[in-house]
Chains A and B, each alone.
Chain A
Amino acid sequence: MSYRTVDGAPPGRASAPREAHRPARGRGTRSRRRAGRLLGYAFIAPAVLYLVVFLVVPLLQGIAMSFTDAKLINPTGGDPVGVDNYASTLTADRFWNSLLATVLYTTATVAGTVVLGTAAAVLVNRAFRGRALLRSLLAFPYAMPTVAVALVFAWMYNQSNGAFNRGLGILGIGETGWLTDPDWGMASVVAATVWKVFPFVMLVVLAALQSVSAELYEAARIDGADALNTFRSIVLPHLAPTLRIVALLMTIWSIRRFEIIFLLTGGGPVETTNTLVINVYRTAFSDQNLGVAATVGALGLVVSLAVTCVFLLVERRETKREEAL
Chain B
Amino acid sequence: MPRMVFDQVTKSFGGDPVIADFSAEIEDREFLVLLGPSGCGKSTMLRMIAGLADVTGGAISFDGEVVNDLEPKEREIAFVFQSYALYPHMTVAQNIAFPLLMNAFRPWYHLPVVSAVMKRAIARRPEVAERVAEVARTLELTDYLDRRPKSLSGGQRQRVALARSLVRDPSLYLLDEPLSNLDAKLRTQMRSEISGLHRRVRKSFVYVTHDQVEAMTMATRIIVLDAGRIQQIGTPEEIYGEPANTFVAKFIGSPGMNLIPATAADGRVTDARSGQVLDRGADLADGDYLFGIRPEAARLAADGEAGPAATVTTVEHLGGEVVAGCELGEPDAEAGLTVDLGGTVFIRTAPHPSLTGRGRVRLAFDRGAVRYFRADTGQRVPATRGTPQPQGSIR
Chain A interface (Cβ < 8 Å from any Cβ of B): 213, 215-216, 218-226, 228-229, 232-234, 237-238, 240, 325
Interface of A: prevailing SS:
helix
CB closest residue in chain B, given A234:
B87
Question: Bound state CA distance, A232 and B113, in angstroms?
Answer: 12
Q: Is the CB of A232 within 8 A of B115?
A: yes
Q: Is the CB of B164 within 8 A of A223?
A: yes
Q: Is the CB of B89 within 8 A of A213?
A: no
Given contacts A219-B79, A221-B72, A221-B73, contact A237 B89 (CB under 8 A): yes
Does residue B189 face the partner (Cβ distance < 8 Å to A)? no
Q: Which of B83, B107, B151, B164 contacts A325 (CB 8 A)?
A: B151
CB closest residue in chain B, given A221:
B72
Interface string of B89-108 (1 = CB under 8 A from A): 11100000011001101010
Q: Is the CB of B79 within 8 A of A224?
A: no
Q: Is the CB of A229 within 8 A of B105?
A: yes
Q: Is the CB of A224 within 8 A of B148?
A: no
Does residue B6 face the partner (Cβ distance < 8 Å to A)? no
Given contacts A228-B110, A229-B102, contact A218 B85 (CB under 8 A): yes
Q: Is the CB of B148 within 8 A of A222?
A: no
Min distance, Cβ B159 to any Cβ of chain A, angstroms: 16
Does residue B147 face the partner (Cβ distance < 8 Å to A)? yes
Does residue B129 face the partner (Cβ distance < 8 Å to A)? no
The listed residue with most B CB atoms (<10 A of its CB), out of A220, A222, A238, is A222
Q: Is the CB of A223 within 8 A of B98?
A: yes
Q: Is the CB of A222 within 8 A of B115?
A: no
Q: Is the CB of A216 within 8 A of B105?
A: no
CB closest residue in chain A, given B71:
A221
CB closest residue in chain B, given A217:
B85
Q: Is the CB of A224 within 8 A of B87?
A: no
Does residue B62 face the partner (Cβ distance < 8 Å to A)? no
Contacts of A228 in B (CB 8 A): 110
Q: Report the 6 A-B pairs with minimum CB-CB distance, sorted nearest first.
A: A219-B85, A237-B89, A224-B102, A224-B73, A215-B85, A223-B99
Number of interface residues of B (CB under 8 A): 32
Given contacts A222-B78, A233-B98, contact A325 B85 (CB under 8 A): no
Q: Is the CB of B89 within 8 A of A238?
A: yes
Known: A215-B85, A224-B103. 17 other contacts (CB 8 A): A213-B83, A218-B85, A219-B79, A219-B87, A222-B52, A222-B78, A223-B73, A223-B98, A223-B164, A224-B73, A224-B102, A226-B105, A229-B102, A233-B119, A237-B89, A238-B89, A325-B91
Q: Is the CB of B81 within 8 A of A223?
A: no
Contacts of A221 in B (CB 8 A): 52, 71-73
Question: Bound state CA distance, A238 and B90, in angstroms?
Answer: 11
Contacts of B85 in A (CB 8 A): 213, 215-216, 218-219
CB closest residue in chain A, given B161:
A219
Given contacts A215-B83, A218-B52, contact A224 B91 (CB under 8 A): no
Q: Is the CB of A218 within 8 A of B105?
A: no
Contacts of B82 in A (CB 8 A): 215
Min distance, Cβ B50 to any Cβ of chain A, angstroms: 7
Does residue B353 face the partner (Cβ distance < 8 Å to A)? no
Question: Bound state CA distance, A225 and B103, in angstroms?
Answer: 8
Contacts of A219 in B (CB 8 A): 79, 81, 85-87
Q: Is the CB of B98 within 8 A of A222?
A: no
Min distance, Cβ B101 to any Cβ of chain A, angstroms: 8
Contacts of B83 in A (CB 8 A): 213, 215
Min distance, Cβ B153 to any Cβ of chain A, angstroms: 16
25 contacts between A and B (CB under 8 A): A213-B85, A215-B82, A215-B83, A216-B85, A218-B85, A219-B85, A220-B102, A221-B52, A222-B50, A222-B77, A222-B78, A222-B79, A222-B99, A223-B73, A223-B98, A223-B99, A224-B73, A224-B102, A225-B102, A226-B107, A233-B98, A237-B87, A237-B89, A240-B89, A325-B146
Q: Is the CB of B72 within 8 A of A222?
A: yes
Question: Bound state CA distance, A28 and B164, in angstroms?
Answer: 62
Does residue B88 face the partner (Cβ distance < 8 Å to A)? yes
Question: Bound state CA distance, A232 and B87, in angstroms?
Answer: 12
Min distance, Cβ A129 to any Cβ of chain B, angstroms: 14
Contacts of B146 in A (CB 8 A): 325
Q: Is the CB of B73 within 8 A of A238?
A: no
Contacts of B98 in A (CB 8 A): 223, 225, 233
Question: Bound state CA distance, A224 and B168, in angstroms?
Answer: 11
Question: Bound state CA distance, A240 and B90, in angstroms?
Answer: 13
Q: Is the CB of A325 within 8 A of B148?
A: yes
Min distance, Cβ A238 to any Cβ of chain B, angstroms: 7
Question: Bound state CA distance, A234 and B85, in angstroms?
Answer: 11
